[in-house]
Structures are given as C-alpha cells and as structure tokens.
Amino acid sequence: MNQEVRRAAKILRAGGLVAFPTETVYGLGADASSAAAVARLYAVKGRPADHPVIVHLADAAPAFTWAREVPASARALAARYWPGPLTMILKRSDRAKDFVTGGQDSVALRVPSHPVALLLLRAFGGAVAAPSANLHGHVSPTTASHVREDFSRQIDLILEGGSSEIGIESTIVDLSDEKPVLLRPGRISRQELERELQTRVADRTSSSPRHSGGLERHYAPKTPALLLPPHQLDAEIAKRSDKVAVLAFSRPDERVEYWIRMPREPRAYAQRLYAALRELDGADCGAILIESPPETAEWDAIRDRLSRAAG
Ligand code: TXA
Ligand code: MG
C-alpha cells in the first residue's frame, strides 16, 4: 500500500487525478492549489465550474491556513471530530482560489479519518480537492469498484480501501457567519453539533451558500425512484405492471424479483445504502420503490439522501 500511496502522491503533484477511500465515500482527488488539476477534475466528473469542492488535509493546523478567520466553534469541532466525517465552511484565506470555492468567499475543509486517505494526504503534503468520486448527479461510491463503474480510463489511479465505513457523505456545517448552519446532514448529527457548540444549529435556507448537494435529484440512480410510506408499499407493488425493484425493511415479497432488505438501524442502513441503490439501478427495472424510514432525528441524514434519490 505504501508504494501505491507514494505513486498516488506523485500523480497528484504532476496534476493528475487519484480516487481514494474515505470513511464516508470515495473521493476523486486533485491538487487543490493547481487550477489545471482542478479544471481536469471538474471536466472528468462533469461538474459545473461554479460548484465549490471540499479541500482535504491531513491535520487541522494546515487545514485552518485555508481560512482567514477560525472561530472558536471551528477549533472546538476540529478538536472533537477531526479526523472524521465533518466538513466545515469557513471564510477563505488567499490559498483558497476561485477554482475550488466556485468563486464564493468561503471554503469547505475536511480532515478525513480513513487510514489510506491520511497516508495519501501526508505523502502528498498539500491540500487535496475532492468531490465524491462519481459522475455528477450519480450515486456516490462506497467501494473502489463503484469508482471504476463511473470512470474507466479518465482517472490516473484508484487507491483501494475496502467499503467505506459510514457510507454517506460528511456532515457539512457552515461556520462562516455568526450563526452555524447545517448544510448537509450526516453521521454527525445536528444534535451532536448543538451539544458541542452549546448553541442552535440552523437549517439551510434558500439564501445559504450554493452547494450541489442542495440540488434536487442529486445522489440519484438512473432508474426513477419512489419513496413510499410502509403502508403504501404493498399497494404500489400490486398496482404496477412493470418490473420493479424494492428497498425495504420488510421481508421480500415473492411478486418482486429484486428486493434488498435493509437494516432497521440507521448506521448500518447508511453503510449499505449506496451499494444497494447501485445494485437495484442495475436490475433494469421500471422503478425503484423505497420504503421510507422513520421520521426520527437519527434517520435525518438518510431521509435527506433518499428524498434526493427520489427527486
Ligand atoms: O464525505 C464527503 O464530504 C466526501 C468525501 C470525498 O470527503 N466529499 C463530498 O464532496 O461529498 P462533494 O463535492 O460530492 O460534496 C461537497 C458538497 C457540495 O454540495 C458542495 O457544493 C459543498 O460541499 N461545498 C463545498 N464548498 C462549499 C462552500 N464554500 N460553501 C458551501 N458549500 C460548499
Ligand atoms: Mg457528491
């Protein structure tokens, strides 16, 4: 692995693209200080140039040099959650150029905890701009083979790191203004952030900074997906004449050929979610019917991803 990581760091230094595992999902990395490398990253991903990207570093201290103001709240969250599945939005320093911030005055920073990600970041020594390693709008990858499904020859190297332990993207909290705002729910919940910061963490509003995760039908399979409350799932299956795939908590129904039974525990559910969506997407069905999870806070991040998948 060390030799692979050294090769990957060399590719990044030369302006190349390296996919790497993180504890949330796989990222597609480029040198965050190189306009040409980031331009290539956007082109390969098919991502609009005005969408900002997360900058990954190996430690909090170098990460904070990308911000011109580091509030006490950011230091507290870094001490508690980095390395880990948390991204912070801060006012950018002049290191963070328009090509990583999408021209905004803020920058997204994260120190991931996956050992291979940390090895890579240390070997490279700089900051790595990395969106999830999927084609724009598609389901995020949680294994190296998912990355290969979306990109065959366009990227220079894929580092192997097993299945991502968390399975959904990092929590994003905006600390660039006085009041913290939750831009994307994740494994670290709003309640945990509020407890740590001893203050309310507001929801994103329409005036919150643009972020592509906020677009409708992001994280989406190609097959139309429908989110249904448990009591409507059966009726929908009975009603449909086309072949459907189902993602549900309950036991498989013999009328349905493709059925993935999901765990009733949110962490285990999140870990399997994207692989399941990709599998059902490949089943060539008319629709993916998804049984909606409980309305409780511990399912927030999953409900967020499912409602986007269902458009
Ligand atoms: O778990 C993750 O966060 C993964 C791994 C690879 O670290 N990365 C990831 O990146 O999910 P991406 O690009 O798929 O999603 C990052 C989100 C986007 O919705 C982007 O718009 C938002 O972060 N973002 C980045 N910079 C921002 C900024 N300055 N202000 C507001 N949102 C920002
Ligand atoms: Mg993404």
Q: How far is the CA of 211 from the centre of ligand 2 (A)?
A: 10
For atom 15 of ligand 1, the residue with the nearest CA is 131
Ligand 1: which of 54, 91, 174 to mutate, most ligand atoms within 8 Å of CB? 54
Q: How far is the CA of 232 from the centre of ligand 2 (A)?
A: 30
Q: Are 157 and 18 in contact (CB under 8 A)?
A: yes
For the cut 90, the answer to whether the pLDDT of residue 202 exceeds it is yes
Position 169 scores a pLDDT of: 97
Q: Which ligand is nearest to the CA of 215?
A: 1
Give residue 211's pLDDT.
Answer: 55
The atom number, within ligand 1, closest to the CA of 28 reads 6
Rounded mean pLDDT, 181-196: 97
Task: Return the C-alpha torsion angle 113, 116, 118, 119, nearest 10.
Answer: 160
- Mean pLDDT, to the nearest integer, of 17-36? 98
131 CA from centroid of ligand 2 (Å): 6
- Give the confidence band of 50 by pLDDT, cuts at 50, 70, 90: confident
CA distance 82 to 308: 27
**Is the CB–ligand 1 distance for residue 28 below 6 Å?**
no
Mean pLDDT of the chain: 94
Q: What is the pLDDT of residue 147?
A: 97
- Cα 245 from Cα 237, distance rounded (Å): 9
pLDDT score of 214 more than 70: no
CA 121/CA 9 separation, integer angstroms: 8
Token look-up 């349905």 returns: 256
Q: What is the mean pLDDT of residues 166-173?
A: 98
pLDDT at 213: 47
Q: Which ligand 1 atom is at minimum distance from the Cα of 209?
A: 31
> Is 68 a residue whose pLDDT tops 90?
yes
Residue positions counted in the chain: 311
pLDDT of residue 142: 98
pLDDT at 216: 44
Residue 168 alpha carbon, nearest atom of ligand 1: 1
DSSP string over 80-106: HH-SSSEEEEEEB-TTS-HHHHTT-SE
Distance 81 CA to ligand 2 centre (A): 21
CA 7 to ligand 2 centroid distance, Å: 25
Burial (CB count <10 Å: 0-12, 13-18, 19+), residue 265: exposed
Is the pLDDT at 82 greater than 90? The verdict is yes
Q: At 210, is the pLDDT very low, low, confident or very high (cuts 50, 70, 90)? A: low
Tell me if 25 CB under 6 Å of ligand 1: yes
What are the b/e assignments for 10-19, b being 16+ CB within 10 Å? ebbeebbbbb
| pLDDT tens-digit readout, 218-229 | 678 889 999 999
The H or E element spanning position 202 is strand 202-203
pLDDT (average), residues 127-133: 98
Q: For tokens 């030369």, what's the residue? A: 14
The tokens for 54 are: 């997360």
Instruction: Give pTM, 2 decimals.
Output: 0.96
Question: How many angstroms separate the CA atoms of 306 and 311, rounded?
Answer: 8
Tokens of 190: 């709003």
Alpha carbon separation from 299 to 69, 124, 147, 194, 292 (Å, rounded)? 33, 36, 26, 17, 10
Longest CA–CA span in the chain (Å) reads 59
Residue 31 · residue 129 · CB < 8 Å:
yes
Q: Residue 64 above 60 pLDDT?
A: yes
pLDDT per position as a tens digit, 234-266: 999 999 999 999 999 998 888 898 999 999 999
